[in-house]
Chain A
Amino acid sequence: MSGVRVVAGAVRRVAVVGAGMAAARFAEQMAGRAPEVEVTLYGAEAHVPYNRALLAEVLTGRLRPEDVALPAGNGTRVRTGTRVVGVDVAARAVRLADGSGAGYDHLVLAVGAEPVLPRLPGLRTVGGPAEGVHVLRTLDDCGRLAGAAASAGRAVVVGGGVLGVSAARALTALGVTTELVHEASHLIGRHLDAGASGTLVRGLTALGIGVHLGARPHALRGTGRVTGVELADGRVLDADLLVLACGVRPRTGLARRAGLRTAYGVVVDDHLATSAPHISAIGDCAEHRGVAHGLAGPAWDQADVLAARLSGAGPEAAYPGSPRLFRLTAGPLEYAAFGETGDVPGADVVRLADATRGSYRKLVLRGDRLVGGILLGDLTAVGDLTRAFLDGAHALPGDPTHLLTTEGAA
């Protein structure tokens, strides 16, 4: 792969496909470091860049849609509602949906990810999804869902990952009776183990959310409009609206059509360079060392590295990957998970579960190193614990349980 080699002054025009979180961060960093470079964001959505991580807060009304706008740097051109349909690698130009084109010296793909839709009979009607079926990926999705929730009595959320859990909680906060359907045996398998999931399920139940684990949706009920979800075991859950939160996958179509190397995502090296000259990829669409993070933190780490390189402020900057660090706050439900959270062979595990207080805390140790952990329900030690994890080169002193008890103990 060709590295991003920047000769000072060579990059005058940077085109960014996408106007999401990675794009905004990149543009802001460029504006601060190389204000003379002309940066243009092409966003398919009608909105200026906003913080997608806050959509659940917008859904509950805690934040207004206009509140979540992100800085994109003074001088950055943001072209909203502008879809890029093709890239001419040789000519260094993008082609827009309206047929026009725009040249670039460097192109950044920050097209993000799109929701994965399950194969469900009845999901689509002619011309689009059935009425009452929602995803939650964009501000517009959020507006539609909030509008529907206002008149809905019952909701079913399909998918017990981070998005599904926070959507279920948000809908409940809006007064909608909500059930959460999850195919696996425990929630948020990416971050949580069975014990943490159990504690989380109790927390969700206490909020009034019905949680169905090991439950696979089989078909939708209703004609033209959703009235319920039929599960594989035959049960039927009534619903006025259905939220599909079955994960996302990197958008790779544009890159593939342009001849760039793609795998799960658009493949990039430590310089965030794709297989094509003068084209980089960052954020949810990028796959680095076999990993597509799908999180804002790593997207911003990548944006910072790329901006350092392209602005000339850090021509040698490289992206080494991001630590596995997850955090969710969904109203009263809160957890942090980092590193290896499962019961990995050869590791010692320390667990403190407090059913009364609804907390679950777990440390995963390899020898005297902290390699992972979960804090759910009691986040007091989160600051010290994540620092100890990020500082993983160092041995933990003495008895590691002190890490779970009080802040300041680390």
Chain B
Amino acid sequence: MEVRERPEFPVNRGALCGKGRTAPALLDRAARLTSPLVRDGRGAPLREATWEEALDRIAAGLTTVRRRYGADAVGVLGGGGLTNEKAYALGKFARVVLRTASIDYNGRFCMSSAAAAHKAAFGLDRGLPFPLADIARAGCVVLVGANPAETMPPALRYFRELRENGGRLVVVDPRRTRTAEQADLHLRPVPGTDLALALGMLHLLIADGRVDEDFVAARTTGFEQARAAAMAHWPERVEAITGVPVPAMRQAVTAFADAATAMVLTARGSEQHSKGTDTVGAWINLCLAAGKAGRPGSGYGCLTGQGNGQGGREHGQKADQLPGYRSITDPAARAHVARVWGVDPDDLPGPGRSAYELLDTLGRDGGARALLLMGSNPVVSAPHAAHVTERLRALDFLAVGDVVLSETACLADVVLPVAQWAEETGTMTNLEGRVVLRQAALTPPEGVRTDLRVLRDLAARFGVRDGFSDDPEEVFDELRRASAGGPADYAGISYRRIRAGEGLHWPCRDQSDPGTPRLFLDRFATPDGRARFAAVSHRPAAEVPDADFPLHLTTGRVVAQYQSGAQTRRVAELAAAAPGPFVELHPHLAARLGVAEGDLLTVTSRRGHALAPARVTDAIRPDTVFMPFHWDGPGRANTLTNPALDPVSRMPEFKVCAVRVEKSPAARPTPVREGAAAGAALARVPDVSGAAGGEFVPGSGAGAPVQPAAVPEGAAAGAAPVAGVGAVLAGAPEVSGAAGGEFVPGSGAGASSGSAGVPDVGLAGGAFVPGAGARGAFVAGTGGEGAA
């Protein structure tokens, strides 16, 4: 099995990142789960079991909770790495079989702020309103809180081409990332102040007379309120808030406004805040005021964060949505979907809690008491992770489907080994709204089943024998009907058309519809066809530095790891490249703390502390430290992060919290074997099929010394990782000699960037595909991916 480039694929033109290239390592039997695991009671180790036993236990576990506490006490948590078919089937399973309102997914931690702002401004949420390749032809791109150099390397070529074509690249990021190094202009706002910066730039646009008055008059509403908000953020005031000098702001505005076409692209760095929705709204305001939207080559876009970040949020995993990006509170939408599902609309549950709120209330009165989790690893990826881990432990019952024994799977009562990228067919929708088909190249190893089959077999145990196929194409055809007429309309998209080589972008309403690569050229998707300015005002982060916690912490990715790292940490090459967590800090801060490169640091927030070695670099602000979030254990960045939620999107504030940094009394860290590092937790994670055994696993281990103090507050020792290697993830590439696989960038990439977390696959589209000529795409991840 090998992964090859497919230069003719339009999204990445064959470029792969390391995660895609090394993804076959995760297909190896030794790297992964190949048997269901069950636990005979609390405290008992996981042991291998048959599929029949495992599925029976899940049905029994969920049924018991439902009887005792009601349908909404059974929760479901999905993931943005799941294929469209799986996301759709999981949402349907929750609403039709479990009849629970308690479903959400880790994409809530990913793009929800951008999605909410997108919808408010344009009436529709698609990552990019134009193909990725348009970036290369823009006159100016403002990239905010995005670090594609580490998170989406194959996409970087478009930014390079942009500059080769004479376009200007402006990067907004508190860190001088590898992406920022390539920019014509780099603005370095204090973490948590992007909203003020966007308002200050709008102010300058207005003051410099660069507002496109005709566009504003003809195609927008609400400018007066946005203008008033901008007047409350005059440049000198914004400079004091953000630390970005007025002259630099002015240069950015000039570059943006003077260009004939221009874009603003945001990613997690700007979005993962308790004001993420307003922040994105402010960037959209800038585009609208300058007339840089709804025209070819211009617009606002969001770089996706997960393998199927776009498609994953369109088909019903989200607490408030039904397939086709329909609102679950809209009676007409409920009636339509209920008809496709053959149920009474009144039997469909209403909206449920958002991901963090779902996790936060696990095991509590009124919260979920049982959880079915697919494609997510919240022990590592959720904010305030020690608390989330504690909530997971408080469940009556936890079932996890994954490729590898993730940190979250280690806590489960039942673990199901499921198929991954090269082993199953399905579609993914990339950030361009392009639906790509990833076709199976391999048969899953014995003992492994697909998620679709799992859902079918579980549904049968609840007495629902129809409506849950394990054939992806059949599921997709039903998804098309369910999405028909909705905002994300897939009715005209079929496996046949994709295989025939059409790159189809939704909305695509029927078989003769060529799809919509560029949105909003004639009108926006609002009732009156006009884009809406957002009335937004800057406010501080939920937690700002003070005497006890004097520094900002921001989190992000590194190029060799992906999301919660459950998969990438198990690929030797990637693990060697990025063996463990670290704390990036400025030389001046290091000098003040008496810290040298490699010294072990204790980073403490109000929620706990984390340990990791120092990485001294002047690429970061002196008032800020950065940690990547891919690891569990003592170096888990999300032990520190703040679950303060955005009031609209319910996005947690991953990207900024207040911390104290101290030199740890312990000596310099030395790499340890994960088995050892896992310590206490090992007891709960028994020898899983020899796979994990003594393998050196970088992950949590490396770089993180073992010491009791290292355990995050509130998290009892436990949860440790271990286990097999494995999994996919990422950017996957073409596989095997197969014919035309496409690649796909994305996925993999980790991001970094303080501000940025970013994207990843969503890019997507790559494809892999076996069958001759088929044009599928691949894309990443199957199971276990935490989001971020």
A and B: bona fide binding partners = yes
Q: Which of B24-32, B235-243, B404-412, B695-703 contacts its partner?
A: B235-243
Q: Mark B221-251, 1 if CB is under 8 A from A, else 0.
A: 0001101110110111101101111111000
Q: Are A67 and B623 in contact (CB under 8 A)?
A: no
A24 to B537, CA, bound (A): 13
Question: A387 interface residue, CB < 8 Å from B?
Answer: yes
Q: Are A70 and B209 in contact (CB under 8 A)?
A: no
Q: Which residues of B contact A383 (CB under 8 A)?
A: 188, 239, 242-245, 248
Question: A213 interface residue, CB < 8 Å from B?
Answer: no
Question: B207 interface residue, CB < 8 Å from A?
Answer: yes
A28 to B231, CA, bound (A): 13
A50 to B232, CA, bound (A): 9
Q: Which residues of B contact A327 (CB under 8 A)?
A: 236, 239-240, 246
Q: Nearest Cβ in chain A — how far from B357, in angstroms?
A: 21
Q: Are B232 and A51 in contact (CB under 8 A)?
A: yes
List A395-409 residues whose CB lies under 8 Å from chain B.
395-398, 407-409
Question: B68 interface residue, CB < 8 Å from A?
Answer: no
Q: Mark B596-624, 1 if CB is under 8 A from A, else 0.
A: 00000000000000000000001001110
A116 to B167, CA, bound (A): 52
Q: Which residues of B contact A28 (CB under 8 A)?
A: 232, 537
Q: Nearest Cβ in chain A — how far from B742, in angstroms?
A: 40
Q: Are B206 and A63 in contact (CB under 8 A)?
A: yes
Q: Nearest Cβ in chain A — how far from B231, in angstroms?
A: 5
Q: Which residues of A contact B246 (CB under 8 A)?
A: 327, 329, 334, 379, 382
CB contact under 8 A between A57 and B207, given known A408-B188, A410-B622: yes
Q: Are A386 and B240 in contact (CB under 8 A)?
A: yes
A24 to B231, CA, bound (A): 12
Q: Nearest Cβ in chain B — how far from A334, in angstroms?
A: 7
Please report the number of residue pairs spanning A and B whose Cβ atoms sit closer than 8 angstroms. 103
CB contact under 8 A between A397 and B591, given known A297-B240, A387-B623: yes
A71 to B225, CA, bound (A): 7
A360 to B739, CA, bound (A): 66
Question: B592 interface residue, CB < 8 Å from A?
Answer: yes
Contact among B232, B592, B623 with A71 in the assembled complex (CB-CB below 8 Å): B232
Q: Which residues of B contact A296 (CB under 8 A)?
A: 237
A327 to B588, CA, bound (A): 26
Q: Are B245 and A407 in contact (CB under 8 A)?
A: yes
Q: Nearest Cβ in chain B — how far from A274, in angstroms?
A: 26
Contact among B207, B247, B592 with A380 in the assembled complex (CB-CB below 8 Å): B247
List A352-410 residues whose CB lies under 8 Å from chain B.
379-384, 386-388, 391, 393-398, 407-410
Question: B535 interface residue, CB < 8 Å from A?
Answer: yes
A245 to B85, CA, bound (A): 70
Question: A254 interface residue, CB < 8 Å from B?
Answer: no
CB contact under 8 A between A67 and B206, given known A297-B240, A327-B239, A386-B240: yes
Question: B293 interface residue, CB < 8 Å from A?
Answer: no
A273 to B244, CA, bound (A): 35
Interface centre among A334, A383, A407 (most CB of B within 10 A): A383
Q: Are B592 and A51 in contact (CB under 8 A)?
A: no
Q: Nearest Cβ in chain B — how far from A294, in angstroms?
A: 15
Q: Mark A300-331, 1 if CB is under 8 A from B, else 0.
A: 00000000000000000000000001011100
Q: Are A408 and B618 in contact (CB under 8 A)?
A: yes
Q: Which residues of B contact A328 (CB under 8 A)?
A: 236
Question: B101 interface residue, CB < 8 Å from A?
Answer: no
A53 to B547, CA, bound (A): 32
Which B-chain residue is minimally distant from A381 (CB atoms)? B245
Q: Are B537 and A387 in contact (CB under 8 A)?
A: no
A104 to B230, CA, bound (A): 31
Q: Nearest Cβ in chain B — how far from A403, in angstroms?
A: 10
Tally of contact residues, B, Cβ under 8 A: 39
A62 to B246, CA, bound (A): 17
Q: Nearest Cβ in chain B — how far from A122, in angstroms?
A: 37
Q: Are B176 and A67 in contact (CB under 8 A)?
A: no
Q: Mark A51-76, 1 if CB is under 8 A from B, else 0.
A: 10110010000110001111100000
Interface of A is mostly: mixed
A3 to B509, CA, bound (A): 64
A32 to B237, CA, bound (A): 21
Question: A25 interface residue, CB < 8 Å from B?
Answer: yes
CB contact under 8 A between A70 and B232, given known A63-B206, A397-B588: yes
CB contact under 8 A between A386 and B243, given known A62-B209, A408-B618: yes
Interface centre among A70, A384, A408, A409 (most CB of B within 10 A): A408
Q: Which residues of A contact B206 (CB under 8 A)?
A: 63, 67
Which B-chain residue is minimally distant from A402 (CB atoms)? B588
A216 to B248, CA, bound (A): 39
Interface centre among B239, B547, B550 (most CB of A within 10 A): B239
Q: Which residues of A contact B622 (CB under 8 A)?
A: 384, 387-388, 410
Q: Which residues of A contact B227 (CB under 8 A)?
A: 67, 69
Which B-chain residue is minimally distant from A407 (CB atoms)? B245
CB contact under 8 A between A63 and B188, given known A70-B232, A398-B591: no
Q: Are A329 and B235 in contact (CB under 8 A)?
A: yes
A399 to B257, CA, bound (A): 39
A35 to B116, CA, bound (A): 23
Contact among B234, B535, B618, B621 with A51 in the assembled complex (CB-CB below 8 Å): B234
Q: Are A410 and B245 in contact (CB under 8 A)?
A: no
Q: Which residues of B contact A32 (CB under 8 A)?
A: 537
Q: Which residues of A contact B140 (CB under 8 A)?
A: none
Q: Which residues of A contact B245 (CB under 8 A)?
A: 379-383, 407
Q: Are B239 and A297 in contact (CB under 8 A)?
A: no
Q: Which residues of B contact A24 (CB under 8 A)?
A: 232
CB contact under 8 A between A53 and B247, given known A28-B537, A71-B225, A397-B588: no
Q: Which residues of A contact B592 (CB under 8 A)?
A: 394-395, 397
Q: Which residues of A contact B224 (CB under 8 A)?
A: 69
Q: Mark A322-347, 1 if CB is under 8 A from B, else 0.
A: 00010111000010000000000000
Question: B190 interface residue, CB < 8 Å from A?
Answer: yes
A381 to B188, CA, bound (A): 12
A199 to B618, CA, bound (A): 33
A155 to B248, CA, bound (A): 33
Q: Nearest Cβ in chain B — how far from A2, in angstroms?
A: 28
A319 to B206, CA, bound (A): 33
Q: Which residues of B contact A381 (CB under 8 A)?
A: 245
Q: Which residues of A contact B537 (CB under 8 A)?
A: 28, 32, 71
Q: Are A67 and B231 in contact (CB under 8 A)?
A: yes
Q: Are B207 and A69 in contact (CB under 8 A)?
A: no
Q: Nearest Cβ in chain B — how far from A301, in angstroms?
A: 11
A69 to B592, CA, bound (A): 45
Q: Are B207 and A63 in contact (CB under 8 A)?
A: yes
Q: Are A71 and B229 in contact (CB under 8 A)?
A: yes
Contact among A53, A382, A407 with B234 in the assembled complex (CB-CB below 8 Å): A53
CB contact under 8 A between A384 and B231, given known A71-B535, A391-B623: no
Q: Are A25 and B188 in contact (CB under 8 A)?
A: no
Q: Which residues of B contact A397 (CB under 8 A)?
A: 587-588, 591-592
Q: Mark A251-270, 1 if CB is under 8 A from B, else 0.
A: 00000000000000000000
A382 to B176, CA, bound (A): 18
Q: Are A408 and B243 in contact (CB under 8 A)?
A: no
Interface centre among B207, B224, B231, B234 (most CB of A within 10 A): B231
20 contacts between A and B (CB under 8 A): A25-B232, A50-B231, A51-B232, A53-B234, A53-B236, A54-B234, A70-B228, A71-B229, A327-B239, A327-B246, A379-B246, A383-B248, A387-B621, A394-B550, A394-B592, A396-B588, A397-B592, A407-B248, A409-B618, A410-B621
Interface positions of B (Cβ within 8 A of A): 176, 188, 190, 206-209, 224-225, 227-229, 231-232, 234-237, 239-240, 242-248, 535, 537, 547, 550, 587-588, 591-592, 618, 621-623
10 closest residue pairs by CB, A with B: A327-B236, A383-B243, A397-B588, A71-B228, A397-B591, A382-B245, A51-B231, A383-B245, A69-B228, A387-B243
Q: Please give 16 more A-B residue pairs, beta carbons under 8 A apart, in addition to A54-B207, A396-B588.
A: A32-B537, A51-B232, A62-B207, A63-B206, A67-B227, A69-B231, A70-B231, A71-B535, A327-B240, A329-B235, A382-B239, A383-B188, A383-B248, A387-B243, A398-B591, A408-B618
